[in-house]
Amino acid sequence: MAIPPLPLATYRRRRRQALRACADHSDGPMPILVFAAPWSDPVLDLTPVAGKHRQDPWFAWMSGCMAPGAVLLLNPAQKPQATLFLETGDPSKVVWDGDRLQPTPATRRAYGVDAVAPLEDLRPALDRAIAQSGNRLGLLWRDREPGWQAQEAQRWRRRLRGVTVINAEPALVPLRLVKDADEVALHKRAIAITWKGLRATLPRIPHLRYESQVAAELVQHYLNPAYEHLAFQPIVGSGVHAATLHYKYNDGPLQRRAPVLIDSGATWSGYCADVTRTVPQHGRFDQPRFRELYELVLRANALGRRHARAGITLRELNALAWQPILDAGFPRMHGLSHQIGMDVHDPGTNPDQALQPGMIISNEPGIYLPEEGIGIRIEDDLLITKDGCQELTRMIPKTVRAVERLMNGR
């Protein structure tokens, strides 16, 4: 049984906060139903090595439980308040599919929920909870990505005719924005793994021939410690591909002496790192145009770091950090920052909300000139503090000297 990565008290607090936030958001308490990711989901299954289940971030956030196909029911009207329903499977199939998490007292204690039950018992418990809360139910799905969650929600809506079903996600998003010290520690571990991968892979680039080889070497390092997931499929773009913002093919040759842009991240216990470095294929910044633009992006990145602090909004931070790039006549192609957490783009990135201590945001200015075969982005992860920020990715080289030193084995 996988142990929840955070103290059980944290999950209990989150569930209490979720019920309260949902009640405040829609005039009164209602039960909340949260779905784990199904057994196999092509959107969530980011591991190129087949098999490992990646849990839905909302379900993991509330339960710490990795079981696929499980459902968590929070009923504010009675005890047990939090019940974990598990897909127990067919005992005769264990030899084919392996053992599944069972609703036993040990499971209940391990996850700190009030009760555990087989999935078959969900319907009566749900009907009771809905009846106790004025015929209302909160479900969680992402409007921005129509995936299995939205389909599951639709299915339940059809089944529960006459029940008012709301999407609880908007009410709960603020709860995930500020990370506590335990979460920051997990994020730091994801970054440490990412650094290990980059440290091993960047010096290899002059000896490799294809973008796919760079991606493969990185992935090997990211997946190795305890077989964790990738935060997302790495982007490795050479030359004109480095100037393609959402390049995802990684199937081109490494152009000699051209920039190689690498945007990637490991995870640890569900928390994502998100780091971009852009390096010269041959390990030297000796192409004047690339070097000049690189220093410009580095300046913007430094401004982002200098001005990131509690109280500033992302809109204000964008205006300050992009200035040198705009002054030099290049367009702003994307935002400087997004929230990072259990999703690499954590929900709740809002340009007009003041940053708070405990938020983790990206700092990722860039210049993209496809016609010149140059794309440059330098991305770090910043932890917002009371009077500034901590650059969590500061050990990963980015100055011209430090990158050249790493790539040339010095």
Q: What is the DSSP letter of 202?
A: G
Q: Which of residues 103-142 bind Mn ion (CB under 5 A)?
A: none
- Taking the complex as a whole, the smallest distance from the CB of residue 274 to Mn ion amounts, in Å, to 4
Contact 214, 208 (CB under 8 A): yes
3-state secondary structure of 225: helix
Helix (H) or strand (E) holding 392: none
β-strand pairing of 271-272 with 380-385 = unpaired
Give the nearer residue to Mn ion in terms of CB position, either 56 or 274: 274
Q: Which is nearer to Mn ion, 39 or 232 (CB)?
A: 232
Using CB under 5 A, which of 183, 274, 380, 381 touches Mn ion? 274
| Least distance (Å) between residue 272 CB and Mn ion | 9
CB of 380 to Mn ion, least distance (A): 10
- Shortest distance in whole angstroms from residue 305 CB to Mn ion: 15
Annotate each residue in 352-371 with x if it binds Mn ion (CB under 5 A) or - if it does not, as one string.
Answer: ----------x---------
- Nearest in space to 22 (alpha carbons), one of 135, 130, 138: 138
Question: What is the separation of C-alpha 66 from the centre of its chain, rounded to a whole number of angstroms?
Answer: 16
The residue range among 78-86, 182-190, 273-281, 314-322 that interacts with Mn ion, by the rule CB under 5 A, is 273-281
Residue whose C-alpha is closest to residue 259's, from 233, 232, 291, 234: 291
Taking the complex as a whole, the smallest distance from the CB of residue 29 to Mn ion amounts, in Å, to 37
In the complex, the smallest distance separating the C-beta of residue 381 from Mn ion, rounded to whole angstroms, is 9
The amino acid occupying position 4 is P
Nearest to 377 by CA among 367, 387, 385: 367
Size of the site for Mn ion (CB under 5 A): 2
> CA angle, corner 236, sides to 213 and 219, nearest 5?
55
* Closer residue to Mn ion, CB minimum distance, 37 or 378: 378
Please list every residue from 284 through 343 that binds Mn ion, using CB under 5 A: none
Q: Using the rule CB under 5 A, is 194 a contact of Mn ion?
A: no
Q: Which residues bind Mn ion (CB under 5 A)?
A: 274, 362
